[in-house]
Structure 1
């Protein structure tokens, strides 16, 4: 929350979009939002992941039907602590232990939990001060059951954490939340956990007042668009991720903290540049690109595409309802080839 591939219109008026190859990129997952009243049951949803060879999933709640369906699949899982639970856990060791006991421990032997995300984009919100206490209590709860070595605790942030995000090398966190982030980064560095980052070049393009070009956002620029501190940039995604890496370096211990892109995507409908063709181009180029890393951090960057389905109940209605890779009837919006 990529542009031209071969497109042809057949007699029926259907748009056929060129294949996306994903399976070779182990660093790609897909988020599974459930804000819809027309979505298939959990076992069929996880069946899509296994059928198409999608190796990672982000869950925004603790639905046990989904966790049950994930047993034995080895799909890497980011599981969120829903916003209402964050404050409860922050104030109670028993609540943290109970959350782990109820939602992690029963599935831990055959579900591949990778990260627990303490909230989604809660920094700058009413629960900002609850994030770190909840992280600490969940870390202790995992340690008590011997899972702290395999499951990492983190939180998910948005571009809203920046005081400045351009140029990447000059980026820094907002002074209003610097002390909060400094403490969170200290936790992440201590426990070897990454910072989860929601990255939306589409949104930055829309908000740029024409200062960002579509080809820069879609990975289709023909060459270097700008250089910064000796690094060359050809796409907006890299610039956004490296802005976070640079901001982390300005926090004590932050240079050792990795970044996982916990959400990125492109809407396929609602007008302007939110088209199916642009979504196809962005997603296919993203999948190819993330195995290379960024100019600042070469190598694979673990990335989760938002979203598995269009979610018809997301508010406000519009762009947010059109990020899915599949329709609720499990039909690909694109012709996806997972080799």
Structure 2
């Protein structure tokens, strides 16, 4: 499972941890989400310099911001790009629109190392602000997958990002027992099947910082912030930090 953590803000970046479907947490890959909500942010060229300076090999941006794509040309940074929710209907309803998106935002940047396309963000039938996009998400993912394949870009994964509210509260801990809410399964099961069929991970937005703030009495600072600590064991699985336990 590819998991994103979106709440530890740096000046222009947010710490991101990718851990894959093998659940081999010792092999987790570190990257950074490059967000642009804020004032006085450095230009994309400086952000790319910081990635190189600190040997950060993976970046996620939430759209196809052209200055960032230009700054990444010729770099060794693996990039994950996003497609905003309001774009989903046009892409879902028209394969030519998907082809055009791939041409404009992927093929035109042939010397950028694209790793994945995240189609939609936290679309869910139980979130009023995103439920309108539910009918379009899966077909938008299929059209982008087909467009990438047709362009000879089959190595780029197509996925989406979910939020933890889709997990059934009755089974949200320990993670080994986790399952989706019954009311979201008709929506998510076909998406999970698509990801399984195409060998793609799923992204999940999790917020250890908020969990810590809401329960400081029972969650230690070190456990929440990936510092040395005794960890916990649940259902025979050891979790040495809150991030892994929430994931």
TM range (shorter): 0.7 to 0.9
Equivalent residues in 2 for 1:295-334, closer than 5 Å = none
Pair 1:40-2:45 in alignment? no
Aligned to 1:182: 189
Higher relative contact order (Cα pairs below 8 Å, separated by 6+ residues): 1
Quote the offset at 1:101 in angstroms. 0.9
Match of 1:163 in 2: 168
Larger Rg: 1
TM-score normalised according to structure 2 size? 0.80
**Structure-to-structure mapping, 1:89-168, within 5 angstroms:** 89-108=91-110, 110-124=111-125, 125-126=130-131, 127-148=133-154, 150-164=155-169, 165-168=172-175
Correspondence for 1:292: none
Structure 1's unaligned 5+ residue stretches are: 2-24, 242-339
Deviation at 1:129, TM superposition (A): 2.5
Residue of structure 1 equivalent to 2:15: none
| 2:206 paired residue among 185, 195, 199 | 199
Deviations 1:300-321 (A, max 9, x none): xxxxxxxxxxxxxxxxxxxxxx
Given that 2:223 and 2:231 are in contact with CA atoms closer than 8 Å, whether structure 1 keeps it comes out as no
Indicate conservation of the 8 Å contact 1:26/1:55, yes or no. no
Shift of 1:166: 1.1
Q: How many residues align?
A: 215
Task: Give the RMSD, CA atoms, in angstroms.
Answer: 2.0
How far residue 221 of structure 1 moved from its aligned partner, in angstroms, is: 6.3
Output the CA distance in 2 between the equivalents of 1:179 and 1:79: 27
CA shift in 2, pair 1:210/1:175, >3 Å: farther
8 Å CA contact retained: 2:59, 2:79: yes
**1:214-252 residue CA offsets vs partner (Å, 9 max, x unmatched):** 333223464243331x222332212122xxxxxxxxxxx
Name the SS of the counterpart of 1:38 in structure 2.
Answer: coil
Please give the alpha-carbon distance, in whole angstroms, between the structure 2 residues aligned to 1:51 and 1:218.
Answer: 23
8 Å Cα contact 1:216-1:225 kept in structure 2 = no
2:55, 2:176 → 1: CA distance? 36
1:82 aligns with 2:84: yes
Distance across 2 between alignment mates of 1:48 and 1:221: 26
Structure 1 length as normaliser, TM-score? 0.59
Cα offset, 1:89, TM superposition: 0.8
User: How far 1:103 sits from its partner (Å)?
Assistant: 0.5
**Greater helix share, 1 or 2?**
2
1:163-312 equivalence runs, <5 A? 163-164=168-169, 165-208=172-215, 210-220=217-227, 222-228=229-235, 230-241=236-247
